[in-house]
Amino acid sequence: MTLVQEASTLDPAANRARLAELTPEGSDLVVFPEAFARDFGEPGSDLSAAAEPLDGPFATEAAKVAAERGTTVLAGMFEQGDDPARPVNTLVLRGAADAEYRKIHLYDSFGYRESDRIAAGPRTPVTADLAGFRLGLMTCYDLRFPELARALVDSGAEVLVVPAAWVAGPRKVDHWTTLVRARAIENTTYVVAVGQPGPRYSGHSIVVDPWGEVLAEAGEHAETLTVALDRDVLDEARRTNPSLANRRL
């Protein structure tokens, strides 16, 4: 699995070109950050012109690159929705698995109001099977809502994949790494969390195993990480700590 901690720009054509530049061969899954098709721009920017359909240039290029490299690509884009003024913040998964996840929890926090410019997706957990694991898809601010992670796990997810553009600021890296480890430990899952780099965003893309152990972590700047997930580690964690089975609802 490859985590691509790279910044997107305001130029969609340049971002599409970088999919091929940054996608290696030989990885089961290559994860790019949230909004990789086109950066959010200044807070409160109108994003309607950046929205594309799922058969548009970005998702089509992601599928092409995945096929050429023999891999599966996950990346964030703005999708045209029911409201022309407010697109949807969407993850597209293309390759050996094919799915879309539309961000449920919008970033109306820390002085931002994503909901002014983005429409929320349906409250439906999205999973996909890939390379012997079931992936559960989340985006950025979703990480702060444990009920979504648990709904994904109840749908069979064993790896939570979280593309993000986690805005930098006081305590933000600490929140990010703490929440990633918490979601891993409480759900006995792997968590693969990929952010855009600094200075605007927090970077620190990270992979945590079902015990809460950090397998890899990037710094603030652009970086690519490669990590192998081990089915035996997942199975052992769930046998030793059967917290999911011990729930009393």
Q: Where are the beta strands (DSSP E) in 22-87?
A: 30-31, 73-79
Q: What beta strand segments (E) does the chain contain? A: 2-5, 30-31, 73-79, 88-94, 99-102, 127-130, 133-137, 159-164, 190-195, 206-208, 214-217, 223-226
Q: Catalytic site residues?
A: 34, 103, 140
Give the H or E element holding residue 154.
helix 146-154
User: Alpha carbon of 42 to those of 9, 72, 113: distances in Å?
Assistant: 12, 31, 12
What is the length of the chain? Answer: 249
> Which residues have a Cβ under 8 Å from the Cβ of 246 and sit 6 or more positions away?
none
Euclidean distance between the first and the last CA atom of the chain, given in angstroms as a whole number: 35
Sort 54 into a burial class: Cβ within 10 Å, 0-12 / 13-18 / 19+. Answer: middle
Sequence letter at residue 238 = R
Q: Are 235 and 209 in contact (CB under 8 A)?
A: no
